Chain A
Amino acid sequence: MNQFALQQGHSRELDMFSHIVEFTLAKNSTIQLESFPVTTSENFRIYYVIDGKFEWIINQKHYVLYPGDLAVILPGVELGGSHRYLDIGTFIKLEFRVAQLDGSNGINLGEWSNLTESERVTVGRILLINNMSVLKTKEAGDVLYEMRSEVLNQEIGYLTRVNVLLDTLLIIIARQSTRQANSRRDFPGTFAMLEQALRKNLAHQWTVEEMAAHVGLGTTAFTEKVKTYTGFSPLNYLINIRISESIKLLKKADINVTQIALETGFYSSQHFSTTFKKLTGYTPGDFRKRNTPIKSS
């Protein structure tokens, strides 16, 4: 494949894609010392190896990349050659801006993306949680080749297609990273990781779609698995955790009921109250009263 090098601000091909900073296919045939020191970038960087063997430091870990490997460098993550130079070989590099990097909520892709709001949030969150630096996926390579021809040929519809392909690429990365992060053999283990994520961010309005994506399943298969494994639907299981956490908070006198409701992920204190009473027979207030004074024996 022919080399190409597109840079935002220099290459007119990228004028219509302001979020894409660089899109190149590079053939490196000589070793130049200090050609690839460790740096960070605020942008999202993706490298797909076509041939050769690259020894890189990503996020302070050493990786050897072979053809078919995809390096995914999240914003703010360090990348460079293990020996501070670029090894001999060929790769595609795609660098693009993300709208923001939000600590707990993951990566916000930006307006160009055609993903739905919740898909965007979920993909961003999964990328951040899994934080997989190197994925084995030829599928990603095919998407990058297709993106290249769309950008260079500018045939009718290319404005839409380039962004769609970028979305596709991110979906592939999110799915593949989930598959590589858990074995897809050990449901209890995988479910335990999901549970941990839920508890860490209980205030978030989790959807079944989001939870399923964490486990790397579609919503139907996920719901069925959870039902068999826990006896509850995913959302009812989540309510279990929410009520259990709220009980702990209710037993501490220094936090008010509305605050507890929001911290444990209920829309409102009313929603909390109804759910709590339905399950326990007590309103949160009554429950608190019952539990505060010591019972004499």
Chain B
Amino acid sequence: MDNKECIITVELGTNGVRVMAFTLNGEVIASMKGSYPTFHTEPDYSEQDPEQIFITMLYVLKNLLTERVHPKHYHVVSMCFSASMHSVLSIDRNGEPLGNVITWADNRGKKEALDLKNSPFGKKIYDATGTPIHPMSPLIKIAWMSRNDNERFGNTYKFLSIKSYILQQLTGEYVQDYSLASATGLLNIHNRSWEPEALSFAGIKADALPDVIPVFASPGKLRKEYQKSLGLPENLRILIGSSDGCLATLGGGVWEEGKATITIEDSGAMRTVGKVVIRDEKQRFFNYLLTENYYISGGPTNNGGVVFEWFTKQFGDFKGPFDIDYAMENFMREAATVSAGSEGLIFLPYLLGERAPIWNANARGSYFGINIKHEKQHFVRATIEGILYEVYSIGKILEEHRRIDTLTVNGSFASTPLFAQMISDIFNKPVNTGTNPDSIARGAYLLSAIDLGVFKNLDDAARSIDLPLSFRPHLHNHVAYQKYFPIFDRLSMKLYDEFEAIATLQHEQYINVT
């Protein structure tokens, strides 16, 4: 039975870590997760404890191996890593973290982002790096630190991502993959080297960043102590892997022209793959590298499932304490009783400000068009439609750059059947739902499998993903949505001044949402 080989994927996500085991053919052997908290010590701050992330990862990995992998006599041959984008962790010369990891959701660099965006360098840096000028990007975070936190900035030996830190703990090397590096706003995605003007805006030199290696490269061998405590072989191949966004696209099987993927969990994104970057005059889209000849392009939204959850918490019927699932299911049933377009009730979902396509941190939510006949269920449906109109507004502009014939949805919100059907109707396109509940881990598995020779290349690997066609658009619903969407779109732009005015007032009362 020596032939039972397996691949482990480690996914360092926004809320927690998921570790999965796959056979070489891609069957799931086991999956475990563990979560860690996000701290908001000040308005706009969003941080996590690097040691807690490391320990949680180790704990989950160990449990999965000892409970589910070793007992079945699987031999682990490869381990591939994925992580959320845009995290920054300062470490000193001894490798000791200086404070917590700053996550993608952190907005402390609002001012620095605005300064850069309005400067002549902004457009140039965006064109070179493919990362929108926004507080989410490490470029802006490091720039913030250089201007506002001299002590930490001065003592920093390297600016890592959380994945670089975890891999350094496991192997001893400071490395970063091209793919995650391309989301820092510091890497030139055309020549794959650090962009001098971006470095200079951040106030650092290239040696303050980890070495950059391809996604198929290995950061090195697992330290002896971990080999022993985890029961892993010395010749285990560790792959550095990529980012959650790129891997979700690969793992979602979206790998050729005419396809796009919509991922919605708490937040969301719509992505396409191409061999050329999207050059958007208004800088609305990201272009991240997976490998040298593949770019993942698209737009992110802040307001996904988190908005529906907010609505449910406020207005849902709770059977028992904290039983939000029950309340959400009830709402879905209620929403299904209302016709497409919510009889003229429109919801702007910008509770957390918004990124693509309006890139307006001051945007706020609003119900529009309420009349005396609207009942609770109309609000429920309008809320869901608003979240999906927002994604549609990304898709409409994306279509100016890329042909999109079919959509693949993933993420817990988007893959809910009711919502997937609504996406199909709004876009008027067929929707596939992947059979893989976790496309990020699937993407990481594919990288390992290609590395082991199971697949020839990325195209070959992506073709292995089974994509059953699940939803076809209903034309009469699409027609209804087409009547309301232009109003949604215009309101989102028209309210610019009012968004700013209300955000300013809210900010004065320390109600900081973004």
Contact = CB atoms under 8 A, between A and B. Distances in A.
Interface of A: 183-187, 190-192, 195, 216-217, 221, 225, 229-232, 236, 240-241, 243-245, 247-248, 251, 277-282, 286, 291-295, 297
A231 B33 contact: yes
Contacts of A186: 313, 322
Given A230-B34, A231-B16, A243-B55, A295 B172 contact: yes
Given A184-B322, A231-B34, A240 B95 contact: no
B228 A184 contact: no
**Which among B56, B172, B230, B318 has the highest number of chain A CB atoms within 10 Å?**
B56
Contacts of B223: 281
A281 B225 contact: yes
A282 B55 contact: no
A279 B62 contact: yes
A186 to B, nearest CB: 5
Interface string B343-384: 000000000000000000000000000000000000000000
A185 B324 contact: yes
Contact of B174 (A190, A216, A225, A297): A297
Contact of A229 (B35, B95, B320): B35
A94 to B, nearest CB: 29
A297 B211 CA distance: 11
Given A191-B37, A279-B62, A295-B95, 11 more contacts: A184-B322, A185-B318, A221-B320, A221-B321, A225-B322, A230-B34, A240-B59, A244-B49, A280-B58, A281-B228, A291-B96
Contacts of B476: none
7 contacts: A195-B37, A232-B34, A243-B51, A244-B54, A247-B54, A280-B225, A291-B95
A294 B16 contact: no
Interface string B313-345: 110101011101000000000000000000000
Nearest to B316: A185
A293 B56 CA distance: 25
A231 B51 contact: no
A38 B116 CA distance: 55
Contacts of B313: 183, 185-186
B12 to A, nearest CB: 14
B509 interface: no
A281 B93 CA distance: 24
B52 interface: yes
Nearest to B322: A187
Contact of A240 (B33, B55, B322): B55
Determine the interface band of chain B, counting residues with CB < 8 A from chain A: 35 or more
A297 B208 CA distance: 13
A187 B95 contact: no
B95 A244 contact: no
Contact of B322 (A190, A241, A277, A279): A190
Contacts, number: 89
B141 to A, nearest CB: 22
Contacts of B226: 280-281
Interface string B219-230: 000010110111
B136 to A, nearest CB: 21
Contacts of B321: 184, 216-217, 221
B3 interface: no
Kindly name the residue among B51, B62, B313, B318 whose own CB sees the greatest number of chain A CB atoms within 10 A.
Answer: B51
Nearest to B224: A281
B229 A281 contact: yes
Nearest to B37: A195
B33 to A, nearest CB: 5
Most buried by A among B52, B58, B314: B52
B294 to A, nearest CB: 30
A279 B58 contact: yes
B60 interface: yes
Contacts of B36: 240
Contacts of B174: 297
Given A281-B229, A297-B174, A291 B94 contact: yes
Contacts of B493: none
A229 to B, nearest CB: 6
A294 B172 CA distance: 11
A184 B119 CA distance: 47
A221 B33 CA distance: 20
Nearest to A192: B37
A244 B52 contact: yes
Contact of B55 (A184, A191, A279, A293): A279
A214 to B, nearest CB: 13
A221 B51 CA distance: 29
Nearest to A229: B35
A241 B52 contact: yes
Interface in B220-264: 223, 225-226, 228-230
Contacts of A221: 320-321
* Smallest CB-CB A-B distances: 10 pairs: A281-B229, A281-B225, A244-B52, A231-B34, A244-B51, A184-B321, A187-B322, A247-B51, A230-B35, A185-B313
Nearest to A251: B96
B137 to A, nearest CB: 26
